[in-house]
Structure 1
Amino acid sequence: MRETPVQLEPQLPIQPMLQPEPERGLQPLFPLSPVTQDPSEIQQQAQPQTEIQLPESPENQHQERPVWIKPLRLFLIFLGLSFCGILGIILGQYMKQSEQAGTVIPCLSQACHSASAHLSMSDDPFTQPCDYFLLTCRSDRFSPDIGARQRGQGIPGHPQNQNEKAAGENRIGQSNKGRDRRLKEKKVVQRKTVLLQYLREILESNNKSASSAVQKAKGFYSSCLDTTSIESAGVEPFLTLIQKLGGWAVSGQWNQTDFNSTLSLLMRDYATFPFFNLYVGKNPNETARGMTKRYIQIDQPELLIPTEWNSMTHKSRVKTQTLRPFLASCETYLALLGASPSSSMTHVGPFISLSSELAVAAAPLQYRLTKGQLYQRMTIKDLQSKAPAIDWLRCLQAVFHPLPLTAEDHVLLHNLPYIVHMSPIIGKWLNKDELSNRGPLQTYMVLNLLHTLMPALDSRFSETAKNLSVALGTTEEVVPRWKHCVLETERGFDSVLTHLLSERPPHREVEEIIQNIFTSFKSKLHDLKWTDQKLFQVVMEKVQSLIPRLWTTKDISSKAEIDLLFSKVSVSTSFFSNYVQLLSLWQKRRSKLLSEQTEATDILSVTPFVLDNELLFPMGMFIPPLFHPTYPRAMNYGVIGFLIAKDILHLLLPNIYSQSETVHVVGECVWAHYLAVTESKASIGGALSLSTAQRQEVWVQYSALQIALQAYHQSLRNNPADTSISGFSHTRLFFSSFSQINCDSDAYQDLMPLEPSFLITVMCVKSDLCPTSLQCPNKTQQHLLQKC
């Protein structure tokens, strides 16, 4: 694993190329019709050194014959030459196809075979540009209605409008059947889902030679998938665990254990924080001054009882209409845990009362931010004096063992008023003599532990939680079991998966793409017309100071080290037992963060970020089908190159619309193309004007495609050789690959008012980059459009 980042050398801005260099030796495996041929292919076919000369046409030969040839002989010669000419044309075409097939360097890897099959089954932007660019992603950017309509529905004159005039319906009627089929097959590709699918393939692969730590991670994942065993185990594993904690009054057996002892055990071994939450991280106020010290950070807990914030009283409260379903869910949980119906309310009542009292001082993050309640620094000793009900040093030493913590160590508070409010409440419930035999605080902690361990219990518990969410109107998307199990495996075995993931992407190819895209991005900054030259200088200085590189970790460098790290982990067929060990591993990771100064790698990260003077790109970005080292570079740049460029633009130029006139002009130009192709009547008078955010997003994605193409051309200058898929030329493969990710789901998808693949049409206007077939027929305004 290469750890030393590649430094960027200062370079002069590279001006965008108006047309690609001739693509030598890369011709289609099968001849394309003139409508769909790439200009580079036509250019190559016209080169004398590669063109097979055909016999002169019979007409020309006839004109050169001497006048003394007899009419009959002339007729026979004419027939013979016509036959030879036809045969020569056929033979010439066959030889040309053979020569082309011989000069093409096809990609023959398994990854390329899969990519080729995908391309062959997908819509081709170079054969059906108009219909293709106006459908796919399931979203309507202009209608206030919420529904799964297609982009463009509701726009007057749009070909996809359900209220389109009959003439318009007849015009596109022939493509409706194929469109319906494509819409069913088209799926939104989420980059994190792609990463999870890739990790799933790793976990489900049958590699018997894998290290013991890898086998344990796969064993954990397999036990998570075994829902039959989970269902048959029922609630017994949880009840057995409760007995280890001293029992509780609900089951009739409670040893009346010490409150702080039980709390310390829950936090240390089961990552359960009933009364407050713990994090580890830096103080942003100190980070701004170059300090990197990490602190224990204490926050308000994730309360189980549903609450709402009262902006008038600045307090949280529990509403009656939400309390009823919550009460019903608590009674169901106790019934599943063996409580009798007659006794359940004697335990549920105090639990809800305690939860309601604690919730009063909980406040939303934005309110605490405005009140300056975040990152309040104090010693553990001072915290003890403000909230004496909790044995803070004892609890924190248990969680972060074996680190040596003292009362003089500092912690950061994120809601000190809540912590101060919590302490007397706990003291009050501890000293209630009439409830001493019921152990309300023990019940409160046990139900919080139940919430933590619920993913490892049978479906009756998850169904109860789901019913509560439905009643509260907070239903979440159902996650497939495999995805749930991958996420759970990552929580405990993140270093194992990081190790496996770091072995996959070849760093040399990845770093080349990163460097070329970043260089092309810097040249784009020079092309912009900035409103303030001083601001331009500030942006350029910041960009020039950044070092782009692949984000890797130095924590694990060998299989032996990772095996040693997980040597004490014992994975069985019981998912509950495995899950309890996962919680312990998760807590150890938290302790490790406090003692180390290096940033832990987030294996599930799929977007770049800035850390100090580095622009870091997570490994999870560079996985199939978005990237593969054996793909043609045209394909890698068309997919992951575009995504990298788009991410950089969003990250480093978040307010570019207000800083550059170019963004205004280009955004409007692209939008004018779209309105012309859709024949929108609203284009007259600007009824369909875009918001500022939409205009910026149009520019970002259009510029990202330009940056990716320029970076690919730079790559070809450095190394002209490239392989091909389906015989496509370089430029065509670049655009065709880009068109496959046009539904890429990210935080900015809802701001894009048009199908991103339409940007190919805009780039091809009055340019020899693409076939002229991208001009839509019967679009009277399109010939008047200019290049953006």
Structure 2
Amino acid sequence: MYNTEDATRWRNIDTHMLRMGETPIELKPQLSIQPTTQPEPERGIQLPPLFQLPFSTHHHSENQQQTQLQPGTQLSESNPEHRHQAKPVWIHHRKLLFLFLGFSLCAAILGIIYYMHQNLQNRSNTIVTPCLSPACQWASAHLSMSDDPFTQPCDYFLFTCGSDIFPPENGGRQRGQGIIGHPQNQNEKSIWLQRRGQDKEREDRGLREETIRDRKTELLQYLKKILESNDSSSSLAVKKAKGFYNSCLDTRSIDTAGAEPFLTLIQELGGWAVSGQWNHSDFNSTLSLLMRDYATFPFFNLYVGKDPNETAHETTKRYIQIDQPDLLIPIEWNSKTQKSQAKTETLRQFLASCQRYLALLGAMPSSNMIHAGIFLALSSELAVAAAPLHYRLSNGQLYQRMTIKELQSQAPAIDWLGCLQAVFHPLPLIEDDHVLLHNRPYIMQMSPIIGKWLNEHELSSRGPLQTYMVLNLLHTLMPALDSRFSETANNLSFALGNNERVAPRWKHCVLETEKGFDSVLTHLLSERTAHGEAEEIIQNIFSSFKSKLHELKWKDEKSLQFVMKKVQSLIPRLWTTKDISSEAELDLLFSEVSVSNQSFFSNYVQLLSLQQKRRNKLLTEQTEMVDILSVTPFLQGNDLLFPMGMFIPPLFHPTYPRAMNYGVMGFLIAKDILHLLLPDIYSQSESVRTVGECVWAHYLTVTEKESRGGAFSLSAVQQQEVWVQYSALQIALQAYHQSLKNRPADTSISGLSHTRLFLSSFSQVNCDSDPYREFMPLEPSFLITVVCVKSNLCPTSLQCPNKTQQHLLQKC
């Protein structure tokens, strides 16, 4: 394998290098030369230099050199001088390699330790813990039953709310079809209605309303669960509130009692001519009794409130306010004659319902028609003097101040001081006290009408005013009477064109319970409200909202300063009373209330008395009452108040992942704030219009409506609503990511976390029904695709491969 020609060639190279004064250190192991005649299996795989370094003892190293460097070995043996010189160099070189290897090994170990540390830290920040609370388990089940918005995004974000109950040939419900002027609004809908029929339409509407529940319904559902809970509360007031609610649900006992409880009450009020037993009681005495004990106001309304003309003085004084009554007769406003009127068709339906009421109350057929006609005639005369709010507002007829003495001289048929003293007992009212009128012309005309029917009318002997007051009392107490009365009222409503579905009994009972036991429900709701978490999300959303204002395009710097000055003056906070009553205080307050499990009528009469006491409390104690049924924020001076009723499951829960709370409640809070301040922003910023049109352009591109001629321009109010909801989503998302920076850890639901859970939660709440819903020309869930354009925060699966123009979309 080794011949003399090779040796000669190597000696020549060595001699040449020695002449140049160099040592042949380039002959390193990695430069070993293997004869080309070596068989392929023996040559093996040539490892990189690092892995060819000697790791064994010196003896083993020399043997390895002999194996790998055969030419070098022969050279050393034939040249003793070279052999003596190469060995120290090789040994020295090996030490350096050991040193380098040790350093590399230490560096590698340190790198691995650092990597593991960083990896564990990152995993602690990104790996989320599943939320296993009962509320999260419910939310997980709810999400699992709903469509995943990221499975088929191109379809989901166009058709969501209630799409399964609309014609499949339409591909689901398109929000634009509910907008006047939409090209598909008339033809497709009319064809479908002809095919399905009016009855099916009502059925589908009912299903859709059950599926799409607004925030008010969610709050009522939550209060229902509280009232039906079996917790062992020691509070008597709480037990009475629950007892009242349960007696309201007992429709069997209510129907069994029939009209008898109401007929007994009429006799206590002096009877009436319809039954043939009437003691001709004094008109003003009966009127005072109805207003004081039964919260019934047949001829005028009474309530308590501030004078807006005194708001600049920051006064807390409240006044008795007198307004026109809620008339039972159906009327409409004639803009030409500037008077109220009633159509013949509606009067006929109204008269028939009056006759039905009288028949249920035992009126003889001979007198039924007479008394029904009396009620219709008197109602019509009073209705002529009534006027809608917008007319009274435009003519300055609201908050007209006068003394009780002045009111008495202008409307003498009513004993004003006596009636007001009876209603607001024990408050000592005098003739010089001021009241506020909201329709002075009505009050001036009401007085002579009452005087005519009381003394001069040919039917005055039949007690027309007593019949009028009794039927108004019947309307007040109808919720506590058997179903025949409510069915009569519902039939009249339907005949007059009101197609609203009758509220389920549980909802009716929750609303009635709140009327009398509002302070009890406020206490129970406050106990269950996560005040700290609610305050946190309010503050974070408001902070994000202020940041958003700086991103808008303003007319000039003064415009931004104008809006920011107003915003900076606002104090956002949770709306609670300064001192929510304790259970002991509630027990004392309701100590005189006796709740019967079998008689809802008697319970309801006591409830009306409780309502009147609450009205008196507003006037005497000047306290701020919390509206427990409020579900949207409002401005009160510089306070931006958020009701507790907003922060209830399933919309909000302290154990939810923050991604879910911000995706649902954060969005709703931001939307409410923008609606409150929209007039100022719209008048000073150009972004509302431009952003609204940009989002609309996205919608037209993705749906390809523009190319098919199905596009229509947005109105100003539609542009505003698109901008509001799009901005609200951005604000909520920004606030959530800021919260993650402050507190990186967050839990998950259904394996989703962070932005994915945020967007999935938002896509479920976008069916929330609110007063502005009709102005939204597209599904709010579609806004996700607009936010995610050219954003690294969103899943890549949002891209629609079948939409060729999507890459041309710009960020709004």
TM-score tier (shorter): 0.7 to 0.9
Q: Which residue is 1:50 aligned to?
A: none
Question: Contact between 1:134 and 1:152, CA under 8 Å: does it hold in 2?
Answer: no
Matched residue, 1:400: 424
Which residue in the other structure is 1:603 paired with? 628
Structure 1 regions of 5+ residues with no counterpart? Answer: 1-66, 75-94, 140-145, 164-179
Q: TM (normalized to structure 2)?
A: 0.79
Task: Tell me the equivalent position of 1:648.
Answer: 673
Residues 158/366 of structure 1: CA separation in 2 closer, same or farther (3 Å cut): closer
Shift of 1:432: 3.6
Matched, 1:579 2:579: no
- The amino acid that maps onto 2:654 is P
Distance verdict in 2 for CA 1:314–1:159, change over 3 Å:
closer
Look up the equivalent residue of 1:590 and give its one-letter code: R
Look up the match of 1:351. Answer: 375
Contact preservation (8 Å) 1:150, 1:160:
no
- 2:640 matched residue in structure 1: 615
Q: Offset at 1:576?
A: 0.7
CA contact (8 A) 1:234 1:458 kept: yes
For residue 608 of structure 1, what is the amino acid of its counterpart?
A: P
Gap regions ≥5 residues in structure 2: 1-37, 46-118, 164-169, 189-203
Shift of 1:783: 1.1
Q: Distance in 2 between matches of 1:202 and 1:222?
A: 12
In structure 1, which of residues 311, 317, 341 is the aligned counterpart of residue 341 of structure 2? 317
* Percent of residue pairs identical: 78
Distance in 1 between the 2:506 and 2:178 partners? 38
Q: Does 1:505 align with 2:547?
A: no
Distance 1:472 1:153, change over 3 A: closer
Q: Which residue identity is paired with 2:494?
A: V
Query: What is the total number of aligned residue pairs between the two structures?
Result: 676
RMSD between superposed Cα atoms in Å = 3.0
Structure 1 residues 147 and 631: alpha-carbon distance in aligned structure 2, compared to 1, 3 A threshold: closer
Alpha-carbon distance, 1:186 to partner: 8.9
Superimposed CA distance per residue, residues 382-422 of structure 1 (whole angstroms, 9 cap, x where no aligned partner): 10111111110110011111111111100001111111111
Aligned counterpart, 2:408: 384
Cα-to-partner distance string for 1:234-288 (whole Å, 9 max, x where unaligned): 0000001111101111111111111111000000000000111111111112114
* Mapping 1:246-645, distance limit 5 Å: 246-432=270-456, 434-573=458-597, 574-645=599-670
The TM-score normalised by the length of structure 1 is: 0.81
Larger radius of gyration: 2
Equivalent position amino acid for 2:437 in 1: L
Structure 1: which amino acid aligns with 2:481?
Answer: L
- Mapping for residues 11-50 of structure 1, pairs under 5 Å: none
Q: CA deviation at 1:572?
A: 0.5
1:665 maps to a residue whose letter is: T
Amino acid aligned to 1:639: V
Contact 2:559/2:685 (<8 A) preserved? no
| C-alpha distance 319-229 of structure 1, shift in aligned 2 (>3 A) | same
Counterpart-to-counterpart distance in 2, 1:578 and 1:186: 30
Aligned pair in 2 of structure 1 residues 240, 727: CA closer, same or farther (>3 Å)?
Answer: same
| Structure 1 residue 586: Cα displacement | 0.8
Q: CA deviation at 1:159?
A: 13
Which residue does 2:245 correspond to in 1? 221
Report Cα offsets for 1:534-561 as digits up to 9, x if no partner: 2321211110011100000135331111
**Corresponding residue of 1:729:** 753
Decide whether the 8 Å contact of 2:159 with 2:172 is kept in 1: no
Distance in 2, matches of 1:299 and 1:506, equals 39
Instruction: Check the 8 A contact 1:280/1:593 in 2, yes or no.
Output: yes
Distance in 1, matches of 2:127 and 2:796, equals: 25
Q: What residue in structure 1 maps to residue 795 of structure 2? A: 771
Deviation at 1:233, TM superposition (A): 0.5
Shift of 1:152: 5.6
* Counterpart among 762, 768, 786 of residue 762 in structure 1: 786
1:100/1:552 Cα in 2 relative to 1: closer, same or farther (>3 Å)? closer
Superposed CA offset, 1:644-674 (max 9, x none): 0010011012353443222233222222221
Distance 1:147 1:316, change over 3 A: farther
CA deviation digits over 1:52-97, x for unaligned, max 9?
A: xxxxxxxxxxxxxxx97759x99xxxxxxxxxxxxxxxxxxxx99x
CA separation of 1:405/1:767 partners in 2, compared to 1, >3 Å: closer, same or farther? same
Report if the CA contact (8 A) 2:158-2:779 is conserved: yes
Q: Tell me if structure 2 keeps the 8 A contact 1:297–1:414.
A: yes
Secondary structure in 1 aligned to 2:462?
A: coil
1:787 aligned partner, one-letter code: K
Q: Which moved more, 1:347-356 or 1:425-434?
A: 425-434
Tell me by how many angstroms 1:463 deviates: 1.4
Question: Amino acid of the residue matched to residue 107 of structure 1?
Answer: C
Q: Deviations over 1:591-633 (max 9, x none)?
A: 1111233321111111101101110000000000110000111
How far apart are 1:443 and its partner, in Å?
0.8
Does residue 661 (structure 1) correspond to residue 693 (structure 2)? The answer is no
Alignment-derived partner of residue 134 in structure 1: 158
Structure 1 window deviating more from structure 2 (745-754 vs 463-472): it is 463-472
Whether the 8 Å CA contact 1:334–1:344 is kept in 2: the answer is: yes
Deviation at 1:569, TM superposition (A): 0.8
Report what 1:783 is aligned to.
807
1:445, distance to aligned residue in structure 2 (A)? 0.6
Aligned to 2:192: none
Structure with larger RCO (C-alpha < 8 A, sep 6+): 1
SS in 2 for 1:280: strand
What residue is the counterpart of 1:109 in the other structure? 133
1:746 to 770, 773, 782: 770
SS at match of 2:386: coil
